[in-house]
Amino acid sequence: MTTQDDTSTGPDPMWALDPQVRPGPTNSLVDVAGLRVGQHDRRGDGWLTGTTVVLAPPEGAVAGVDVRGGGPGTRETDLLDPLNQVDRVHAIVLTGGSAFGLAAADGVMQQLYAEGVGFPAGPEPGQVVPIVPAAVVFDLGRGGDFGATPDASFGTAACAAATTAAPALGSVGAGTGAECGGLKGGVGSASAVLPDGTTVAALVVANPGGHVLDLRTGGLLGASALLEGDLDVLGERAAYGLRRPDPGELQEARERAGARSGGLMPKVLATTIGVIATDATLTKAQAAKVAGIGHDGMARAIDPVHTMFDGDTLFTIATGARPAPDPVAFHGLLTVAARTVTRAIVRAVLAAEGCQTPAGTVRSYCEAFPSAVTTS
């Protein structure tokens, strides 16, 4: 584990409680075999938004959802209620553009339909309806043009880009226009392999109205959940770990936040969304429970969370490649799933890059607190 001084904020010794838990090979959602991730975004000329698509295996994956935010923008979430019939999804869309961005799911549906992937709905082969739940973040106007939002072409392009390679993190895809309490947000992902070999992973678009840092110290709230290797998003700086930022940097960040919003809490619409995945065999109800527990992980990285200005939503998909867990194993899966969401959010924040658009300048965490990621 990385050597750190007493002002460090992670990784945390709590993970020594189960030293067998480690990140998967890519430390991302695609460590769950059979999943592919594709991203498409557009920036410049008033644009700063994008779409991220998670593609399930052709036969689909069991799915659940939990919506906690007071202002959600979603599609096909009622279908995932355990009381309802269809229990498998073929893709999940995470996108910018607020409610306008739900149109990106149309492109994903059309692409899957062309491939014959979907829920059988007719007597002939190929007569299928792809099941594509979706959720959006609010990023309207952050590139300068309030009406520059993802449409079906974004979903089509994200599908075309889908691969089993580790997805790019930071200000890409659905996280292109994301912000985190006044700092730059983005896409984050992380994975964990449990002692029995089960993989749990998460991909999150971090775009909360709340803060991702402790306002007293400037340290990241979720840093204590980090595993060895999670800081690789910092490049060569990863070897030095995270440190408590210089007090002067924290004071400057406070002043910037106050000038921008009239207080420490930015007055914006927001939302954090994501997908938790596992190769375990789960029921629809169990998948919903995993999504619900995932929100605990969100709450450990964001404060406040689940506000009336956030549409915080998490999906869970289970490919069923491994056996169903017994009650004790399911407890372990839930525990790690929550921590993996926390890690994904922290990695999103650390990977994000600041940007300047006609709408203004937004710094990344690393730009605002360079002493926290020093290389000396």
Q: Is 70 exceeded by the pLDDT of residue 267?
A: no
pTM of the model: 0.94
Average pLDDT over the chain, rounded to whole? 92
- Helix, coil or strand: residue 26: coil
Between CA 138 and CA 326 the distance in angstroms is 39
Q: Are 294 and 230 in contact (CB under 8 A)?
A: no
Q: What are phi and psi of 13, to 5 degrees?
A: -60, -15
pLDDT-based confidence at 269, cuts 50/70/90?
Answer: confident
For the chain, give me the number of helices (H) and strands (E)? 6, 17
Q: Are 174 and 39 in contact (CB under 8 A)?
A: yes
Among 66-80, 223-237, 274-288, which stretch is predicted with the lowest mean pLDDT? Answer: 223-237
Instruction: Report the share of the chain in percent with pLDDT over 70.
Output: 91
Q: Are 226 and 241 in contact (CB under 8 A)?
A: no
pLDDT-based confidence at 19, cuts 50/70/90?
Answer: low
Q: Is 90 exceeded by the pLDDT of residue 237?
A: no
- Helix, coil or strand: residue 175: helix
Backbone CA torsion sign across 298, 301, 306, 308 = negative
Amino acid at 134: A
Residue spans of alpha helices (H) in the chain: 104-114, 152-160, 247-261, 284-299, 327-351, 365-368
Q: Which of 184, 55, 32 is nearest to 107 (CA)?
A: 55
Among 63-72, 132-141, 229-238, 265-274, which stretch is predicted with the lowest mean pLDDT? Answer: 265-274
Tokens of 14: 């709590």
Q: Are 250 and 369 in contact (CB under 8 A)?
A: yes
Q: Is 90 exceeded by the pLDDT of residue 34?
A: yes
Q: What are phi and psi of 68, to 5 degrees?
A: -115, -25
Q: Which helix (H) or strand (E) holds 354?
A: none
